[in-house]
Structure 1
Amino acid sequence: MKHSYIIGILTLMIGSIILSCNKKDDYMAYTPGKGSPSITSVYTYSQYKYNDTTITTHSSYDTSGNLTTYTDTTIGNTLIGLDSATSYGNLGEYYVIHGKNLGSATEVYFNGTQAYFNRALGTDETIIVQIPSTTPYRKPRATDSLTVVNLYGKASYPFMIIAPAPTIQVSNGVSNYNFKNGSVDTLYGVGFASTDNLYIKGVSSSSASKGLMDQVDILSVNDSVMIVKFPDSKITQGNLLFAYTQTDGSKDTAISSTVFNNIDKAYQIFANDNTQNGWGSWSWDAAGISTDYAKSGTKTFSMKFSGGGWKVDGLRQGGGGASDGLAYSADWQYLVFWVKGGNKAQTAYIQWGDGGLGQNAVNDITIAANKWQFFKIPISSLKWNTTSTTWSDNKGSKLNTVGFFMKSNDDDEVYYFDDIMVVK
């Protein structure tokens, strides 16, 4: 009797094991294959749209034999259809691997970099996977291979990772957003090593810059850092346009979202290490030119805001009379400046107009503590004097006051300003 009872228990256990083996993959709605994997193809997971920019140079000679050249730019789109076979991929994008015995896959690699995937989203014939952003795309680290490992073996497939287009990183991507003839700037980002030529292209929103383009010298470059030298240019605001070679050898262009401002073509209030165009200090506290810190040159305009009281520091053109200052034009688009913060983050209010410096809580900005910060403020958003109107509502008035008001800060603060300018 005892012997029969033990046999019954063993039979029940074996049956449970068999049943559990049959059901362990039920959540995937398929049974994974038990052989080595194979890869037959790779497909795009969704539709992609690429902007292709073509630069064409035109040359002509006049009757005297003088050469004239100009360039134009054409932007077109390339569409890759949904679920299209491909042998190359982009960092961060999703792809579908097709083959056999993929349901038991445990690892996927692109150029030796492991990629995350969810088995529940695939089948025994497919894996949906994202190419990691850290995948190598340049030789010798880029082996142009896709590898799938399962419980029974592995399979490799030729697959190329496309180098990203030259791209300036969004945050802290440049050493300076302003340039002038001969100035040197450092760019930070990805994909720079494939750059063949570099240009600055005028932004279309600026009537003074639209349609203009000049070549920028590349002094040194690796894939993440590029040092450039700007030319003498009529452009007031421009994006950098990268002409580069794709991983597969094809030529392409990419344009930065970062906008650079030309100091030489701006209306300068403080720039090139000094006040300009008849502007000077009109400050309530200690203020003046300083060599303690600098951004674009060797000097800045320092402004002290002593703690425990309301202080206004800034600059004024001439005597601040009705005939003094910059005349209104719809072409003036931005007030720009660099400022190095003090001990704490503080709120300051920009005094903007022709009414002189005052304790006017308008046009507030937050100045971060102890670091350089760049401001580019649309003139259309700045309140004129103490009113709720803008400069465009006061076209007959000239701009002769640019200052900063701070309310009762606890600590003494000293701020260092550079490249205070109005830009077209």
Structure 2
Amino acid sequence: MYRQENKNEIFMATLLYKVRVWIGGLIPLALLATLPLVTSCSDDDDNGSASIVVNKVFLEDAQAKDSVTDREVTFARLGQLIRIEGSGFTGLKKIYINGYDTYFNNALMTDNDVWVTLNTKTPVDKADASVRNTITLVKDNGSYTYKFVIRASAPTVSGVDNTLPSAGETVIVRGANLQETTHLMLPGGVEVTDGITSDPDGEWYSFTMPAGVTQSGSITSEGANGTAVTPAYFNNRNCMVLDFENSADLGSWSATYKYDDLVDDPLGSGRGKVVELVPQSVLDGGGIKAGANSSLWASTGNDYANDDWNRMTQFIPGSTPVDSVALQFDVYVPDPWMATGQLEISLQNNLSNYGYGSGGTKYNKDYMTQAYVWVPWMDTETGAANSFTTGGRWTTVTVPLSKFGRYTDKDNEYTFKNVIDDRNSGSYRNFIFLLVNSDIEYDESISYPAANFTSRIYLDNFRVVPCTSVTVSDY
């Protein structure tokens, strides 16, 4: 924090020095530092009647990585400080940015330069078309409008809904400032320009998965606020754990469901065989009683090469931090799921207790904990319950490995190789998941007693993916 503040102080001192030089060195630096308190200047200067001309706009970038703190730009974002370069600024009365009356300190102004911060209240996509992407400077003898692109904060991606879609399925990319997305580049250079729908508030955009996408990686989007890039997990099957297409991948013993318990994809999307978390035969028999668990769905385990995740390090380096690696799976929930039932996942078959808040989901210095519990009908931030459904489509759930058991410990810097070694050190390294139907006690005031579970939950394509967020530099 100290170093950041120090950099800003140096930047402001440099800016004040530049203004002093531009003005002609006539104002002592100590006095110049107090000039932001001055709110007006004489209109009787020699150039007060000169017409305004704008030549260029510069960004005053205190955080510039290349130390170029004053650079010519073709756009700027809300909250940024810009320098407008031209002539005839003496006597300037108003600056309108996208039609918004924007404060400027005319003590920090010369006839050739004026500094102004783009107010965060400035309209961008909601600005009237006649003034959008304009800077208008006004003084008594006239005004001058300069075309200049104004953007909101940089677009960001928080997640992708349906990362392993079949052709024709809908993909939704969620985030912020994604307004007016008009162009997408999918892995392998596949472009999408038609059929893109954007949320007016910039919280998502969607498109239809085209045929012919064979490579994996990121989705790059272009919109009103610039470029956004998703993590490199789109169309990524490189580190598949279970896709249920090969009976040899499934473990089979008395505690498990078997390959014959799989069902065909109920939506016919091309996913082939999928899991019905609680098989229909069990639902027909009354479902899972309160306080009980389903049988396990499990991978083959110790003697099966697929269960040694060292095979994945050719795609995800073992040194990758656990918060940059995730488990993904696809889910289809056709009917509202509410107030009972939990999906528990463990990276190895060693659970001795089950459910939300159980020991297997927490750090324990004496026990190898590698479990996570997904409760989509409960807000884990507030404890509030809301019914959950995916409607008539498959969606993707992404869970960073830092949410599994021991890796929730913030005092250690775990890597993907730690996860692999921990799995391989266990007596039974089967990847498992099951329906747990125990009570949930969120806190002293919020609890959810279990009831008979009879919901249809379909799952497919459990895979490990990279999930590192991508920051796009503007300059």
Tell me if TM exceeds 0.5.
yes
* Residue 101 (structure 1) aligned with residue 115 (structure 2): no
Q: Decide whether the 8 Å contact of 1:354 with 1:400 is kept in 2.
A: yes
Name the % identity: 9
> Which of the numbers 209, 220, 229 marks the counterpart of 2:209?
229
Matched, 1:220 2:195: yes
More helix per residue: 2
For 1:239, which of 201, 210, 218 is the aligned residue? 218
Conserved? CA contact 2:342–2:435, under 8 Å: no
Aligned to 1:145: 134
Aligned to 1:315: 297
For the pair 1:335 / 2:332, whether they are aligned, the reply is: no
1:317/1:223 Cα in 2 relative to 1: closer, same or farther (>3 Å)?
closer
- Structure 2 residues without counterparts, runs of 5 or longer: 1-34, 200-204, 317-325, 361-370, 378-386, 407-413, 441-448, 466-475
1:269 is aligned to 242
Q: TM-score, normalised by structure 1?
A: 0.56
Report Cα offsets for 1:101-143 as digits up to 9, x if no partner.
23x43x5233xx3154364885586341316674259996566
For residues 49 and 311 of structure 2, the distance between their equivalents in structure 1, rounded to whole angstroms, comes to: 67
Match of residue 402, structure 1, among 433, 437, 440:
433
Match 1:423 to one of 442, 464, 468: 464
**1:153-172 matched pairs, under 5 angstroms:** 155-161=143-149, 169-171=156-158
Query: Which shows bigger deviation, 323-332 or 135-144?
Result: 135-144
Shift in CA distance, 31/198, structure 1 to aligned 2, threshold 3 Å: closer
Aligned equivalents of 2:76, 2:270: Cα separation in 1:
37
1:47 aligns with 2:47: no
- Partners of 1:160 and 1:327 in 2: how far apart? 56
1:239, CA displacement in angstroms?
Answer: 0.7
Distance 2:289 2:142 in 1: 69
Residue type of the partner of 1:147?
T
- Match of 2:309, SS state, is coil
CA distance in 1 between counterparts of 2:349 and 2:101 reads 60
User: Does 2:375 correspond to 1:376?
Assistant: no
Number of residue pairs aligned between Structure 1 and Structure 2: 334
The 1-side partners of 2:270 and 2:108 are apart by 54
Whether the 8 Å CA contact 1:109–1:147 is kept in 2: the answer is: yes
Q: Distance in 1 between matches of 2:346 and 2:152?
A: 44
The 1:223/1:46 distance shift into structure 2, 3 A limit, reads farther
CA 1:37 to 1:186, structure 2 compared with 1: closer, same or farther past 3 Å?
Answer: farther
Residue 8 of structure 1 corresponds to none
- C-alpha spacing 1:375/1:176, structure 2 compared with 1 (3 Å): closer
Are the structure 2 counterparts of residues 358 and 344 from structure 1 closer, same or farther at C-alpha, using a change threshold of 3 Å?
Answer: same
The answer to whether structure 1 residue 29 and structure 2 residue 38 are counterparts is yes
Between the aligned partners of 1:28 and 1:48, the Cα distance in structure 2 is 22
The alpha-carbon deviation at position 309 of structure 1 amounts to 2.0
- When residues 220 and 394 of structure 1 are mapped into structure 2, their CA distance, relative to the original with a 3 A threshold, is closer
Distance 2:213 2:81 in 1: 42
Pick closer, same or farther for the CA change 1:148–1:155 going to 2, 3 Å: same
Q: Tell me: CA distance 1:214–1:182, structure 2 relative to 1, closer, same or farther (3 Å).
A: farther
Report Cα offsets for 1:160-193 as digits up to 9, x if no partner: 216799x875246x44222356655344624533
- CA pair 246-407 structure 1, distance change in 2 beyond 3 A: closer
Shift of 1:378: 5.0
SS of 2:306 mapped into structure 1: coil
Asked if the contact 1:349/1:361 (under 8 Å) is kept, the reply is no
**Match for residue 392 of structure 1 among 406, 409, 421:** 421
Larger Rg: 1
Structure 2 Cα separation of the partners of residues 49 and 117 of structure 1: 23
Q: Higher strand proportion, which one?
A: 1
Residue 326 of structure 2 corresponds to residue 353 of structure 1: no
**Structure 1: gaps (5+ residues):** 1-25, 51-76, 201-212, 248-252
Could you report, residue by residue, the CA deviation over 1:276-333 in whole angstroms, capped at 9, with x for unpaired residues? 94468937xxx97598999996976344896752535641246x7x546832032436
Whether the 8 Å CA contact 1:216–1:231 is kept in 2: the answer is no
Counterpart for residue 179 of structure 1 = 165
**Aligned to 2:307, what secondary structure does the other structure show?**
coil
Task: Tell me the TM-score normalised to structure 2 length.
Answer: 0.51
Deviations 1:201-247 (A, max 9, x none): xxxxxxxxxxxx35355543467645243555664x511245x7999
TM-superposed CA distance for 1:391, in Å, is: 4.0
Amino acid across the alignment from 2:41: P
Task: Output the CA distance in 1 between the equivalents of 2:289 and 2:107.
Answer: 61
